[in-house]
Chains A and B, each alone.
Chain A
Amino acid sequence: MKKADFYLVVVLLLFALLAFVVVRMAGSDTGEQVVIEKDGNVFKILSLHEDTRLSIPATKEDSVLVIKEGTCKMESAGCPDLICVKHKPISHKGESIICVPNKIVVYIK
């Protein structure tokens, strides 16, 4: 490893730490509302404290969002990679689940 390599690692990790702090500063407390955006527009706003199940219309098969015991997760979806379904449940302010193929963004406010 050259010296410059080492500096590169340090700079990148510091930058990551900075980015992490900035992201966390935006909200570290438990959120109140779940905002669901579809195609860049707000589709629905739900309370995080009421257990619900919501179908979000998508091209192939509806994406199903479940809010349970203060956390929110995508239960099923018709997208090819299912990244949104595999995403860990979210509950903190600023956390989000994003499904790119279906253009759905779910975040906590």
Chain B
Amino acid sequence: MNDKNNRINSKNVALSGVMIALSMLLGYFESLVPLNIGVPGVKLGLANIVIIVMINKLPFPDLIVISLFRVILSSVLFGNVQALIFSVCGALFSLLIMYIMKRSKLFGTVGISIGGGVAHNIGQLVCALFMIGVFRIIYYLPVLLVSGVVSGMLIGIFGAYIGKRMGDF
């Protein structure tokens, strides 16, 4: 928030816009390749590559904006507004966890990504728990934990590679 001057700030705004577009595209691309293993909520989370790469380059508020706008715009454009509240819960909780993990300086990119993937699934599960008011939905937890770890690891490896290649700009 406290950018030293306006030039940096406007650069961040432009960068955020590009990243919202990119993450929406990645999310859409992912929806074209259905991955259905009989349990809802298992997915790769390609859009998280954007956050993983940008978490080192943009301040936290900008990351919130990217996350939130991606989720809202994707829901409105590609349908499924009913799932919007779940997506928001998952995305924001995941972002918060990733940011805390990054600030702790304990974890590498892969670890942060795994934390984000698992947090996303937990966020959605908790949201569903409150929405539907049935404790039974917790039965999906083990599968969602494992899927969060696996997809988080893949996305983290991708993200670390892209971040390294991109360098400073």
Chain A hits for B137, CB < 8 A:
96, 98, 105
Counting contact residues on chain B (CB < 8 A from A), the size range is 20 to 34
Bound Cα distance A107, B118 (Å):
25
On whether the beta carbons of A40 and B145 are closer than 8 Å, the reply is no
A-B contact count (CB 8 A): 90
Question: B residues 116-145 with Cβ under 8 Å of A?
Answer: 118, 128, 131-134, 136-139, 141-142, 145
Interface pick from B22-30, B60-68, B104-112: B104-112
Chain B hits for A98, CB < 8 A:
40, 128, 132, 134, 136-137
On whether the beta carbons of A100 and B111 are closer than 8 Å, the reply is no
Chain B hits for A20, CB < 8 A:
142
Question: A residues 1-53 with Cβ under 8 Å of B?
Answer: 1-2, 4-5, 8-9, 12-13, 15-17, 19-20, 23, 37, 40
Chain B hits for A107, CB < 8 A:
136
Q: Does A81 contact B (CB under 8 A)?
A: yes
In the complex, per-residue mask of B77-113: 1 if CB is within 8 Å of any chain A CB, else 0: 0011011001000000000000000000011101100
Q: Does A68 contact B (CB under 8 A)?
A: no
On whether the beta carbons of A8 and B141 are closer than 8 Å, the reply is no
Q: Does B36 contact A (CB under 8 A)?
A: yes
Bound Cα distance A28, B122 (Å):
24
Min CB–CB distance A64 → chain B (angstroms): 19
Bound Cα distance A95, B143 (Å):
13
Given contacts A8-B107, A80-B83, 7 further A-B contacts (CB under 8 A): A5-B110, A8-B115, A16-B145, A83-B40, A98-B134, A98-B137, A100-B128
**Chain B residues proximal to chain A, CB less than 8 Å:** 36, 38-40, 79-80, 82-83, 86, 106-108, 110-111, 114-115, 118, 128, 131-134, 136-139, 141-142, 145-146, 148-149, 153
On whether the beta carbons of B82 and A101 are closer than 8 Å, the reply is yes
Bound Cα distance A88, B36 (Å):
10
A-B contact pairs, 7 of them (CB 8 A): A8-B114, A9-B149, A20-B142, A37-B134, A80-B80, A87-B40, A98-B134
B107 closest partner in A (C-beta) = A4
Chain A hits for B149, CB < 8 A:
9, 12-13, 16
